Structure 1
């Protein structure tokens, strides 16, 4: 008798359970498996469904991160290309021969043409004219060293030159006296130059520079960073 009652109760409970859906008691609606979660159709598929959703989220995050990395890499490559394209540096010496000789003095100011080229990155320095043409606007470092030899004690020493931009003098290292037979002077500047500016060195009246392939007289410039 007890067994019969128990079977009846189980059957009633089973029938009542079939009347419920994942939407709640009495929600007897048709579920579209193409638009709604599989969890509403089959409880056993919930774990797989949630795992797929998590994998999908991870995939989206990975794709977004990869796109950002690719964008930053493109920016870095562009910046590197710009740096390579704008590289500019030159360093030149006055004489190329082994014989010691002097340049000057002259009755007029004379443009100095440095003949020995140590480096001319970007081809901004013209060895035929002695002029450096600025390829790109920016901050440049310029250096000028002058050396002279009076030939004998008591003679007038005049180691001097003018560093100029567009014929305007920026600085003029100078050593004039009758006490030293030989001496030198150096000036180093950091200046802002515009594309197309012309940088050169002029020998003033009465000055003279001497040297050989030891390169006592040098003229150097290079781009620190661009500003355009």
Structure 2
């Protein structure tokens, strides 16, 4: 066999082997490309999920902040209202008496003591107080509202021919933490025990430092 014929045979064999190799590897290349595409799609989905999770976390943080603000406001809320029950005359007495409003309607913050009749400011701030009374016209009525030991407001009803009278008063007060507010029935005067008409109320308007 001459060299030219041998070279031609070897060339044909090489082309055949190369074709077989390409045909054998082609499916593997296709699979690799598909896997790469799927992996890319999964990465995009994971990135999208991560973004959504971050948005959810940010929203939850905002909700938690709002809840904390509401809880803080509730902790600072101070409201009370109480009356005197019994539907009987109270007084007259020989000495001044602190009014004990024993029927409590509300006492948010527990600043009012139903056993002593005294309100103690839990925080410094501006407070609003009201007090009302009912009495018979045949006797004198004199009720004073105190801040600590200072008279702030007064209700008076002089003896008259009236069968019954009502009175009331109200005030804004700047209180420091620990200040007390209460009502005293003056000596030789009376009121009528009825929570619907003889009562004492107050609430925190604004907290101050």
* Structure 1 Cα separation of the partners of residues 174 and 53 of structure 2: 44
**Hey, what does 1:97 align to over in structure 2?**
86
SS at match of 1:173: strand
| 1:92–1:209 distance in 2 versus 1, CA, 3 Å | farther
* Structure 1 Cα separation of the partners of residues 191 and 186 of structure 2: 14
CA contact (8 A) 2:133 2:192 kept: no
SS at match of 2:116: coil
**Hey, what does 1:30 align to over in structure 2?**
none
* Structure 2 Cα separation of the partners of residues 166 and 69 of structure 1: 47
Pairing 1:72–2:62 present: yes
Q: 2:167 aligns with which of 174, 178, 185?
A: 185
* Structure 2 Cα separation of the partners of residues 112 and 196 of structure 1: 19
CA contact (8 A) 2:129 2:203 kept: yes
CA contact (8 A) 2:137 2:159 kept: no
CA contact (8 A) 2:137 2:158 kept: no
* Offset at residue 62 of structure 1 (A): 6.7
CA contact (8 A) 1:163 1:171 kept: yes
CA contact (8 A) 2:103 2:195 kept: no
CA contact (8 A) 1:147 1:217 kept: yes
Unaligned runs of 5+ in 1: 1-54, 152-156
CA contact (8 A) 1:159 1:184 kept: no
| 1:189–1:62 distance in 2 versus 1, CA, 3 Å | farther
TM-score, with normalisation over the residues of structure 1? 0.61
SS at match of 1:161: strand
Q: 1:150 aligns with which of 128, 137, 144?
A: 137
* Offset at residue 79 of structure 1 (A): 1.1
Q: 2:183 aligns with which of 186, 197, 201?
A: 201
Q: Once structures 1 and 2 are overlaid, which stretch shifts more, 57-66 or 124-133? A: 57-66
* Structure 2 Cα separation of the partners of residues 169 and 212 of structure 1: 23
* Offset at residue 144 of structure 1 (A): 0.5
CA contact (8 A) 2:128 2:202 kept: yes
CA contact (8 A) 1:112 1:130 kept: yes
* Structure 1 Cα separation of the partners of residues 195 and 80 of structure 2: 18
Unaligned runs of 5+ in 2: 1-44
**Hey, what does 1:113 align to over in structure 2?**
100
Pairing 1:137–2:124 present: yes
Aligned length: 178
Q: How does 1:49-68 map to 2 (within 5 A)?
A: none
**Hey, what does 1:216 align to over in structure 2?**
197
TM-score, with normalisation over the residues of structure 2? 0.66
